[in-house]
Structure 1
Amino acid sequence: MTYKNILITTDNKVTTITIHRPSKLNALNMATIEELHQAFAQVSQDKQTQVIVLTGSGDKAFVAGADIAEFAGFSVQEGIQLAAHGQESLFNFIENLNLPVIAAINGFALGGGLELAMACHIRVASENAKMGLPEVSLGVIPGYGGTQRLPQLIGKGRALEMIMTASMVSAKEAHRTGLVNHVVAPTELLAFCNGMAQKIVPNSPVAIGMAIDAVNANFKEGENGFETEIKAFGKCFGTDDFKEGTTAFLEKRKAVFSGK
């Protein structure tokens, strides 16, 4: 598939998806959300990919927010549909992928941009990154999962402060509160994320996918995370990866996983 607003490259089992709308600071419009959905769906079926790194083009912005001009005139029902479709097709889709997704946050990650980063499994920020959910300054609230994922990551009180003040936080503060996992120099961002990805690549893809499901279950209404973990743990025993991993351990060699 040919994409207008994103770039995709793959190297050593790591696929980098780059949002490429430099003139708009990589702002999310509906077309870009759809392209990202298609790209993640496509890459998730690629047997040569075991980790995805998501970033924005240039050094000014990961994603500077949503494309406000696109929905400024929407009705109530159109607003509901916009949020529902976006959450289902992209943000929840990324969170529930059984491939690890690392957000490489370069520059501004505001509104939908921060929500996109929070949907990823791991976040790494450059030292010049600024993050925030400024929606209330426009008379609206975060609609792509921001009111749910931000409290999960930094706690209810801090999340409400960020949302109600519409304030941006620095990379240093984001790291202190647990919003991001690591902060690195801008020139080292992608190399650092790729280095982390290469630590993930040798491990069992099946086990990693099940671990993602088990962790996510703790935050889903009606699901018992402990029960999900127990069932997933048991399922591992029926996989080729489990047989390879335990055999390799006993034979004192490195495992070579098939992902089955």
Structure 2
Amino acid sequence: MTALVSYKSADGIAIVIIDNPPMNVLSQQVQKKLKETVTALEKDDDIVCVVLTTPGDKVFIAGADIKEFPNMIDNPNMREDVMAMHDVLGSLEDMTKPTIIVLDGLTLGGGCELALAFDIRIAEEHTQIGLPEVNLGIFPGGGGTQRLPRLVGSAKAKEMMFTGEPVSSSEAEKIGLVNKVVSTVKD
């Protein structure tokens, strides 16, 4: 079994890989492992840049693990669970080292919110990015409601959050959601 979150490093660059097939959901376990990895990389003086991606090419991250939702709703610790996600994304956003994320497929919900915490976002051409939570009757809970408007402006952010419609990578580049679109990075 592969690790949910792993990294390798060379020449000062850490490549972090989230591998939680089939949809790479951001389960609580993935969030915990990502936080541990970010903390270790922040302390590692040999690392000067952090890049995050996945091993796939169809789904980057499809969002939170909806199988965990029923346990969260009636859980008196729900606030702590939500704040744990904020803690992970905040630690990424606050890293003292440059962070780059490579979106290599569907980037939805928590995947989009994860991407928003990075300094530079690169998307492969086939990538779709969005916050479809509204279609489940919930709103983005990982800080996307704050980070998205800062990148794309209030009107576009509201459109994305209210409709739940994803944007293509080319549209994302046009509105400033991603810095660059590439054909592929895995070659």
TM-score, with structure 2 as normaliser: 0.94
Aligned pairs (5 A) from 1:168-247: 168-186=166-184, 189=185
Q: How far apart in 2 are the matches of 1:172 and 1:84?
A: 32
What residue number does 2:107 align with? Answer: 109
What does the per-residue CA deviation read over 1:30-69, in whole Å, with 9 as the maximum and x for residues that have no partner? 0000000000111111122100001112111221111011
Structure 1: state its 5+ residue gaps: 192-260
Q: How far apart in 2 are the matches of 1:28 and 1:76?
A: 19
Deviation of 1:132 (Å): 0.2
Deviation of 1:76 (Å): 7.0
RMSD (CA atoms): 1.5
What residue number does 1:215 align with? Answer: none
What residue number does 2:8 align with? Answer: 9
Task: Please tell me the residue identity of whatever aligns with 1:85.
Answer: A
What residue number does 1:250 align with? Answer: none
Deviation of 1:4 (Å): 2.8
What residue number does 1:164 align with? Answer: 162
Percentage of matched positions with identical amino acids:
37
Q: How far apart in 1 are the matches of 2:186 and 2:44?
A: 21
Task: Please tell me the residue identity of whatever aligns with 2:24.
Answer: N
Asked if 2 retains the 8 angstrom alpha-carbon contact of 1:8 and 1:15, the reply is yes
- Paired residue total: 185
Q: How far apart in 1 are the matches of 2:164 and 2:183?
A: 26
Deviation of 1:190 (Å): 5.8
Structure 2: state its 5+ residue gaps: none
Deviation of 1:79 (Å): 3.3
What residue number does 2:69 align with? Answer: 71
- CA 1:76–1:141 in structure 2 vs 1: closer, same or farther (change >3 Å)? farther
Deviation of 1:96 (Å): 0.6
What does the per-residue CA deviation read over 1:77-126, in whole Å, with 9 as the maximum and x for residues that have no partner? 443222212102x1011001101110111001100000000001110100
What does the per-residue CA deviation read over 1:146-173, in whole Å, with 9 as the maximum and x for residues that have no partner? 1000100000000000011000100000
What residue number does 1:144 align with? Answer: 142
Q: Which has the higher helix share?
A: 1
What residue number does 1:155 align with? Answer: 153
Q: How far apart in 2 are the matches of 1:179 and 1:162?
A: 11
Task: Please tell me the residue identity of whatever aligns with 1:35.
Answer: K
Larger radius of gyration: 1
Task: Please tell me the residue identity of whatever aligns with 2:135.
Answer: S
What residue number does 1:40 align with? Answer: 38
Q: How far apart in 2 are the matches of 1:122 and 1:178?
A: 11
Higher relative contact order (CA 8 A, sep 6+): 2
Deviation of 1:11 (Å): 1.3
Equivalent residue in structure 2 for 1:60, among 58, 61, 67: 58
